Amino acid sequence: MPQKKKTKKEINEAIQDWLDSYSSSKKATIKDVAQIAGVSKNTISRIINNSPLVKDETRLVVKTIIEKIGYQPDPQARGLAFRHSFLIGMLYGNPNPHFVLNLQQGILDGLDDTDYELVVRPCYRSNPNYLSDIQAFVERMKLAGVILTPSLAEDEALAKMLRKAGCKYIRISPAELDEEKNIIVTNDRIGASEAADYLSSLGHTQIACILGRSDFLSSKERLEGFRESLRANKIHLPTEYLVKGDFTFESGTSATQELLALPTPPTAIFASNDEMAAGALHAIRLAGLRVPEDLSVVGYDDFHIAVTVWPRLTTLRSPIHDTGKLAVQKLLSENPSNQSAFPDIPSPTLVVRESTSPPTP
């Protein structure tokens, strides 16, 4: 189309013309930008996609035009041409709203200033069509990638299906169950061992642990970290001090009641999450005992509940938000295996509040 290069003045006039005639009614397309700039659509496309094969001057002129007429490339059209969408998916099954929303926020923050948007989808492993539903979803939407939260992230069959479907994914998991480029490890084991280290540093030697749901790897990892710490601190762990829970408040209550009924009850309890720690507090109060005077309690997660119970919980805070953000960066990176570009997520940090103290002699 362009017989000769347009002058700056001609371009400004073209912009003005466009603004006068269209603006309010119709959105600008790549064609509009091309015509105003006096170049082909190819060139505009190259600029949108940061191709180096464009003269700097041309790039500058075009960018100004784009800015002025408020052109936004159509993600659907780009997606159609690219054979994938500009959507990434968050697949979640985790029942805790704080976890899900924190992660979601981190993902959204990671998506800021990218061309991608987030579509969310709860998934239930118990659903008989679980795998094929997700596959249909991923293929229909031509997702650029998906982020898997615990405990979906721990499902090897899911990961395998995604690989076969050619869909990139990031698993967020407490254990290293995939290649570096496909996973972000959350260090639950380290967090739990810190919890136990802290209790032992306070002088406790009778420390019990309330386990989480057995179908969550985090339960296993937290227990492992707890065990490692006790071993390192030469603290004996009677099997009665390990009691089952399922991450709910109620299970924390009943588990604690079991512990209190023991011939030698513990002087400290590490609950695998805050929810159960709150339940523990409840059981202890019902038993007429005081926290932390009679019994110290440590939770895990530092979710909101940790500060709304009394006493407020000593607990471990995971960088969930940052995990989500990192997951996006890794997912959208061309070189996700590059270790140095993606540092490990920091370990959980201990937050000390009023639910712990040295044991009363």
- Binding residues vs its own copies (CB under 8 A): 27, 70, 72, 74-77, 79-80, 85, 87, 97-98, 100-102, 104-105, 108, 117-122, 136, 139-142, 249, 275, 278-279, 282, 285, 304-305, 307-310
| Distance of closest approach, residue 68 Cβ to its own copies, in angstroms | 15
Q: How far is the CB of 59 from its own copies (least distance, A)?
A: 21
Please name which of 291, 230, 295, 293 lies closest in space to residue 259, comparing C-alpha atoms. Answer: 295
Question: How many beta carbons lie within 10 A of that of residue 7, not counting itself?
Answer: 10
Judged by CB under 7 A, the residue of 7, 17, 23, 55 near DNA is: 55
CA–CA distance, 303 with 307 (Å, rounded to integer): 8
- Which of its own copies, DNA, none has residue 275 at its interface (CB below 5 to 8 Å by kind)? its own copies
Percentages of the chain per state (helix, strand, coil), in multiples of 5: 50, 10, 40
Q: Which is nearer to DNA, 26 or 234 (CB)?
A: 26
**Which of its own copies, DNA, none does 157 bind, CB closer than 5 to 8 A by kind?**
none
Both structure tokens of 355? 């639910």
Residue placing its CB nearer to DNA in the complex, 58 or 329? 58
Q: Which residues pair with 304 in a beta bridge?
A: none
CB of 54 to DNA, least distance (A): 4
CB 113, CB 56: distance < 8 Å = no
Q: How far apart are CA 151 and CA 99, in angstroms?
A: 12
Binding site partner of 249, from DNA, its own copies, none, Cβ cut-off 5-8 A by kind: its own copies
Query: Which CB atom, from 43 or from 253, has the smaller least distance to DNA?
Result: 43
Question: Least Å distance between CB 72 and its own copies?
Answer: 4
Residues 326 to 345: which contact DNA by CB under 7 A? none
Q: Does 45 bind DNA (CB under 7 A)?
A: yes
Shortest CB 181 distance to DNA, Å: 22
129 belongs to the binding site for DNA (CB under 7 A): no
48 binds DNA (CB under 7 A): yes
CB 281 within 8 A of CB 340: no
Residues 12, 29, 105, 257: which binds DNA (CB under 7 A)?
29
For 54, the token pair is: 């464009």
Give the C-alpha separation, 83 to 61, whole Å: 29
Task: For residue 45, count CB atoms less than 10 angstroms from its CB and return exposed for 0-12, middle for 13-18, buried for 19 or more.
Answer: middle
Query: Between 44 and 192, whose beta carbon lies closer to DNA?
Result: 44
Min separation Cβ 91 and its own copies, Å: 12
For 194, half-sphere exposure in the C-beta direction (CA atoms, 13 angstrom radius) is 19
What per-residue string of b and e applies to 279-309 under the rule 16 or more CB within 10 Å gives b? bbbbbbeeeeeebbebbbbbbbbbbebbeeb
Among 11, 18, 43, 314, binds DNA (CB under 7 A): 43
What are the residues binding DNA (CB under 7 A)? 1-2, 27, 29-31, 38-46, 48-49, 52-58, 71-74, 77-78, 80-83
